Amino acid sequence: MSTLAAQHQPSSSEEDLIALFDVRPTDAPTPPAEREAAIAAPKFGTVFTDHMARISWNSTDGWVDRRIEKYGPLLLDPATAVLHYAQEIFEGMKAYRHADGSVWTFRPEANAARFARSAHRLALPALSVDDFVGSITALVRTDVDWVPSGDEASLYLRPFMYASEAFLGVRPSLEAEYLVIASPVGPYFSGGVKPVSIWVDREYSRAGAGGTGDAKCGGNYASSLLPQVVAQQHGCEQVCFLDSGTRTFLEELGGMNVFVVKADGSVETPELSGSILEGVTRSSIIRLLTDRGHDVVERRIPLTDVLAGIRDGSVTEVFACGTAAVITPIGRLAGSDFDHTIGGGEAGSLTMAIRAELTDIQTGRAADRHGWLRRLA
Ligand code: COI
């Protein structure tokens, strides 16, 4: 076992946490050869492991029946609240296989804390950090053979919670289901790690003041789909939203935060205004950049500043980040009255250096100096 791995042995309390989960193995596990073929080069989010973690909640008993069960369809009454009022939240995380075979995840407590904040905003029940981390650990240990190895490969983990009461009245559901599903993945974008083009939308907003923009709820992503289609109609791969009040300031992409690198070495990212998701990757990048001596400024960034900076050379790189996409260079920024190439359309050097540093930590190739990794198996 590597020194890095030895520093993060599961504590007995983690063993206690997963012991709460009743493992009910599938009677039809995927044959090993089929599994190996499935995880070799999967398209993002299309292949799923044999099991899922699950906990049920009702307003009388609280969280009950912690289990790992066969992955499969959910049976929903047509009146189930989530189908009507979108009372749903989720998270995105990854499990990484290190060279010695051990399996790790990245800052799960941060995802657990955000999940709790999202639950509060969507009037769903709070799930404890212990249940969140315990469920992920129990699922990954059950399906550990599904964790791929190799560059850009990981097991994407999708914890989510939905209102499961069959009731059409508009009030918080008295029943909820929490699940974790897992999907072996390669790069998020089909072209691999290469600069993407972004359409800056002035017609649609992702979120407004006092809305759900800082919660990770399905509705935010639903409202980003039409603008995403519009972006594609303009020949761009992703959409970037501006603030809903003035359509002046950069907010975020459909599912990623955004950073702007300046020629003087400083880096800017939109401040957390309440309508932006507080990305775990975002905060990790701020830390890594600060460690390197970069001045990182969180502020309201006018689109006009970025466009002027690209034109006069004071903005040298722009990149997007998120768990699924890690760090993705942006090579082109287009809108109704501009179309700018950034850094000659090539990936920026700081973008790729920070990407390499982050993925090296996640995959155990570099020291985990901030204690961000947690061993799962
Ligand atoms: C993630 O980066 O994990 C996300 O949740 C973004 C997207 C896949 C919805």
Band of residue 131 on the pLDDT scale cut at 50, 70, 90: very high
Are β-strands 93-97 and 103-106 bridged in parallel, bridged antiparallel, or unpaired? antiparallel
Site to probe by mutation for ligand 1, drawn from 323, 327, 358, 362 as the one with most ligand atoms within 8 Å of Cβ, is 323
C-alpha span between 239 and 243 (Å, rounded): 13
Ligand 1 atom closest to Cα of residue 323 = 2
Those residues whose C-beta lies under 8 Å from the C-beta of residue 284, and which sit 6 or more positions away, are 106, 107, 358, 372
> 12-186, what's its fold?
D-amino Acid Aminotransferase; Chain A, domain 1 (3.30.470)
Mean pLDDT across the chain, nearest whole number? Answer: 94
Tokens of 203: 């017609």
Query: 176 C-alpha to center of ligand 1: Å?
Result: 22
Q: Would you say residue 23 has pLDDT above 50? A: yes
Q: Would you say residue 9 has pLDDT above 60? A: no
C-alpha span between 162 and 357 (Å, rounded): 35
Among protein residues, the one whose CA lies closest to atom 9 of ligand 1: 255
Per residue in 157-202, pLDDT (tens digit) is 999 999 999 999 999 999 999 999 999 998 787 766 899 999 999 9
Q: Would you say residue 3 has pLDDT above 60? A: no
Which one is predicted more confidently, 13 or 179?
179
Site to probe by mutation for ligand 1, drawn from 89, 256, 284, 362 as the one with most ligand atoms within 8 Å of Cβ, is 256
Q: Number of C-alpha atoms within 13 angstroms, CB side, residue 4?
A: 24
**pLDDT value at residue 42:** 81
Q: 184 and 153 in contact (C-beta within 8 Å)?
A: yes
Band of residue 230 on the pLDDT scale cut at 50, 70, 90: very high
pTM, to two decimals: 0.94
Query: 61 C-alpha to center of ligand 1: Å?
Result: 32
Ligand 1 atom closest to Cα of residue 216 = 5
Ligand 1 atom closest to Cα of residue 324 = 2
Strand partners, 353: none
Beta strand extents in 47-100 (DSSP E only)? 51-58, 62-70, 88-90, 93-97
Using the structure block, give the residue that is written with the tokens 């069959």.
Answer: 166
C-alpha span between 305 and 58 (Å, rounded): 50
Query: 323 C-alpha to center of ligand 1: Å?
Result: 6
Query: 2 C-alpha to center of ligand 1: Å?
Result: 30
**pLDDT value at residue 149:** 92
Cα(first)–Cα(last) distance of the chain, in Å? 12
Query: 324 C-alpha to center of ligand 1: Å?
Result: 5
Among protein residues, the one whose CA lies closest to atom 8 of ligand 1: 324
- Measured at the CA of 322, the angle between CA 112 and CA 119, to 5 degrees, comes to 30
Tokens of 66: 């912690």
Instruction: Please report, as a single letter, which amino acid is at residue 26.
Output: T
The second-level CATH assignment, the architecture, of 194-361 is Alpha-Beta Barrel (3.20)
Per residue in 213-226, pLDDT (tens digit) is 999 999 999 999 99
**pLDDT value at residue 41:** 81
Q: What's the rounded mean pLDDT across residues 257-264?
A: 98
Tokens of 104: 């790790």
Those residues whose C-beta lies under 8 Å from the C-beta of residue 63, and which sit 6 or more positions away, are 55, 56, 57, 125, 127, 128, 131, 178
Q: Where in the chain is CATH 3.20.10.10?
A: 194-361
**pLDDT value at residue 220:** 96
Q: Would you say residue 8 has pLDDT above 50? A: no
- Pocket of ligand 1, beta carbon within 6 A: 92, 221, 255, 322-324
From the number of C-beta atoms within 10 Å of its C-beta (0-12, 13-18, 19+), residue 313 rates as: exposed
Q: Would you say residue 6 has pLDDT above 80? A: no
Band of residue 11 on the pLDDT scale cut at 50, 70, 90: low
Using the structure block, give the residue that is written with the tokens 């709820």.
Answer: 217
**pLDDT value at residue 46:** 93
CB atoms within 10 A of CB 137: 25
Query: 46 C-alpha to center of ligand 1: Å?
Result: 14
Cα-Cα-Cα-Cα dihedral of 66, 19, 280, 348, to 10°?
-120
Phi, psi of 166 (to 5 degrees): -85, 95
Q: Would you say residue 7 has pLDDT above 50? A: no
In the chain, the percentage of residues whose pLDDT exceeds 90 is 89
- Measured at the CA of 157, the angle between CA 330 and CA 147, to 5 degrees, comes to 100
Q: Would you say residue 14 has pLDDT above 90? A: no
| CA nearest to 279, candidates 251, 247, 313, 308 | 251
Instruction: Please report, as a single letter, which amino acid is at residue 64.
Output: V
Query: 183 C-alpha to center of ligand 1: Å?
Result: 13
Q: Where in the chain is CATH 3.30.470.10?
A: 12-186
From the number of C-beta atoms within 10 Å of its C-beta (0-12, 13-18, 19+), residue 20 rates as: middle
**pLDDT value at residue 189:** 74
Query: 325 C-alpha to center of ligand 1: Å?
Result: 7
Where do the H-state alpha helices sit in the chain?
A: 3-6, 12-19, 32-40, 81-85, 108-121, 129-142, 218-233, 280-291, 303-312, 349-362
Per residue in 329-349, pLDDT (tens digit) is 999 999 999 999 999 999 999
Are β-strands 175-185 and 154-163 bridged in parallel, bridged antiparallel, or unpaired? antiparallel
Tokens of 142: 């059950």
Per residue in 341-373, pLDDT (tens digit) is 999 999 999 999 999 999 999 999 999 999 999
Phi, psi of 347 (to 5 degrees): -65, 135
Among protein residues, the one whose CA lies closest to atom 5 of ligand 1: 92
Query: 88 C-alpha to center of ligand 1: Å?
Result: 15
Among protein residues, the one whose CA lies closest to atom 6 of ligand 1: 255
